[in-house]
Chains A and B, each alone.
With several copies, the nearest count.
Chain A
Amino acid sequence: MFSLINPDGSVRDRLPLTLDEMKALYADMVEARTYDDKSMAMQRQGRLATYAPFRGQEAAQIGAAAALAEDDWVAATYRDAALNWRAGYPWELLILGRTGDERGGQVPEGVNILPPSITVGGHMIHAVGLSWAEKLSGSDRIALTSFGDGATSEGDFHEAMNFASVYRTPTVFLCQNNGYAISYPTSEQTRSDTIAVKADAYGMPGIRVDGNDVVAVLVAVREAVSLARAGDGPSLIEAVTYRMGPHTTADDPDRYRDGSDVTVWAERDPLERVRLLLERQGAWDEDWQTELESEASETIEAAVAWAESVPPPTFAEMLNRVYAQPSPALREHLETGEPSQM
């Protein structure tokens, strides 16, 4: 497994990043974790619909997104808020989406990120199509798709991997193997030793990387992105990580796992090892941490405030977004339908 930073903050190899870049990655992870914590709390207060926390997976997501160019395509999942945000999806729209508002999917022009996929497996092939189109039009834009270990069981994973390799599309497949598909452990989902090895079935490079090591992920995804951009086709990256929280706020992990793994993985926390690394280099102190956290908090609070200030969609808005022009039936609904009492 490819890894560069040990859990204690020591490094295995020279890191290809400046100290400032390391600090920026750390700051991003802190901001992401703040968002995650805040979202869990808001959901408990009934201010968000079900929420899928990514605690423990910050390195995989921030590291991957940091390897992308601004206008690359991203097709990721309900758990990938950190990845999407770092790739350009504004927090406020992610939050708006989680309040249960379709307008959360309306990213600004120039941001090429699909709304988080709720179906497991269906979105990987979209990244193939997106990047295929870019290849055909001669642009050097690529697409990254992020998905879980569970998604690799879907037939759509197979078709996406196959199309990407057959047409050599500039696609990066990032699997965050976080140990579970809801309650079903990765070890039972498949009999292959790793997920990375599945790339062989498509003649595609596959690599396994420590998903809690933000630099290792960044380096691996950067390599895959370069291959793709250079016309050398798709790759699969398995980022081995762990979902520290429940599957979603509706889930109770005690039904299917005892706490022992959680304890083990807590020692491998993706933020802590970078903090230690920075501390070793004299680039971290409590003040900076406090500053980071309070800035992040303010940012997220502001995003929440904005999202919560958006008036709910009207009846007409609900019906006007199905087609470019509403169908005759929708026009009738608009005329005769009684808007309900919210």
Chain B
Amino acid sequence: MPEVNLAQAINGALDTALRNDPRVVLLGEDIGRAGGVFRITDGLRASHGPDRVFDTPVAESGIVGAAFGMAVAGMHPIAELQFLGFSYPAYDQIINHVARIRNRTNHRFSAPMVIRIPYGGGIGAAEHHSESTEAIYAHIPGIKVVVPSTPADARGLLLAAVEDPDPVIFLEPIRLYRAIREDVPEAVDRVEIGPVRVERSGDDITLISWGAMMKETRAAAGALAEDGYSVEVIDVRTLAPLDRDGIVASVEKTGRAVIIHEAPLTGGFGGEIAATITERALYSLLAPIKRVTGWDTVFPLKRSEAHYLPSVDRIVSAAHETLEV
């Protein structure tokens, strides 16, 4: 699978999972004949049959609840919810059932399943199509929350998610689906769910982000490097479980951190990361931590989108303020 984009990497991983494990089935709205609204499941119904890849009624709670039942009965379903903004009707099933079955049966039953959800803005989409509410999932014990930002991670983390004994929310950055291509050998099988990926090493400052915002974060790191700074970039990749050690180790080294996410500031997952750093690396901090995030508003429509999304400039200037302390 050389040189694929993120969308193709996910398609390939789904194909591999369906091929390797008869317990894997796919279900979701328009994922069969139409191949999904982002074509992520393109061709899978044709190659694996209508008894492996199911189109479903428009009923998110039903999709997740049915997949949950299947998982408890021993299958490894992969459900797709069409957009993160349409995952909320399934929130009750996820928090009250999917996340809890192991706990409430003391391991007797479990729900090895994946819920794939495209998320994030940047494509001028309609209302509810640009959500970045990962924080409401990362807070819930019993599930894992994974957000890849590269084709290789997408493939590796998805294959790991499918094999994970616990349920995994797999968030797919819409605006990166076709933004980056990279060589993803089929042999890249699993990427461990948990550890952050240090994408770039540096000594002066740590930029911390995940998913779609990695694009701007990388660009900001490049710009700062041109200004002569040595920048470390961390792709968190897994919000739950959170690799606190990985993050703290980096900030202990650099003494400075900027956290970048697309969700609104207040209650965003950046708060957790900033709190963690303060608790564990206070004496290493050379400057206040900064968060560069979406504003405390509803993700806007196309004409205001550029006002909302954290820009490379905002990241660079936050980094400068941090560096100049």
User: B residues within 8 A CB of A73?
Assistant: 73
Interface residue B30 (Cβ < 8 Å from any Cβ of A)? yes
Contact B298 A322 (CB under 8 A): yes
Give complex CA distance A189, B56 in Å.
8
Interface residues of A in 177-226 (CB under 8 A from B): 181-184, 188-190
Contact A114 B72 (CB under 8 A): yes
Interface residue B245 (Cβ < 8 Å from any Cβ of A)? yes
Interface residue B226 (Cβ < 8 Å from any Cβ of A)? no
The one of B58, B93, B126, B296 that contacts A330, using a Cβ cutoff of 8 Å: B296
Contact B58 A153 (CB under 8 A): yes
Closest to B266 in A: A329
Contact A338 B102 (CB under 8 A): no
User: B residues within 8 A CB of A131?
Assistant: 69
User: A residues within 8 A CB of B55?
Assistant: 183-184, 188
User: B residues within 8 A CB of A75?
Assistant: 69
The one of A159, A255, A319, A324 that contacts B59, using a Cβ cutoff of 8 Å: A159
Closest to A338 in B: B314
Contact with B along A165-187 (1 / 0, CB 8 A): 01100000000000001111000
Stretch from B32-40, B176-184, B200-208 that touches the partner: B32-40
Contact with A along B133-144 (1 / 0, CB 8 A): 000000001101
Interface residues of A in 299-314 (CB under 8 A from B): 312-314
Closest to A257 in B: B33
Interface residue A278 (Cβ < 8 Å from any Cβ of B)? no
Give complex CA distance A265, B209 in Å.
51
The one of B59, B66, B101 that contacts A155, using a Cβ cutoff of 8 Å: B59
CB proximity of B126 to chain A, nearest CB, Å: 5
Give complex CA distance A255, B41 in Å.
13
Contact B302 A100 (CB under 8 A): yes
Interface residue A115 (Cβ < 8 Å from any Cβ of B)? yes
Closest to A139 in B: B73
Closest to B64 in A: A125
Interface residues of B in 241-268 (CB under 8 A from A): 241-245, 265-266
Interface residue B15 (Cβ < 8 Å from any Cβ of A)? no
- What are 14 A-B pairs with beta-carbon distances under 8 A? A101-B301, A119-B86, A126-B72, A128-B65, A129-B73, A130-B70, A184-B29, A312-B303, A313-B307, A323-B142, A324-B166, A330-B295, A333-B296, A340-B307
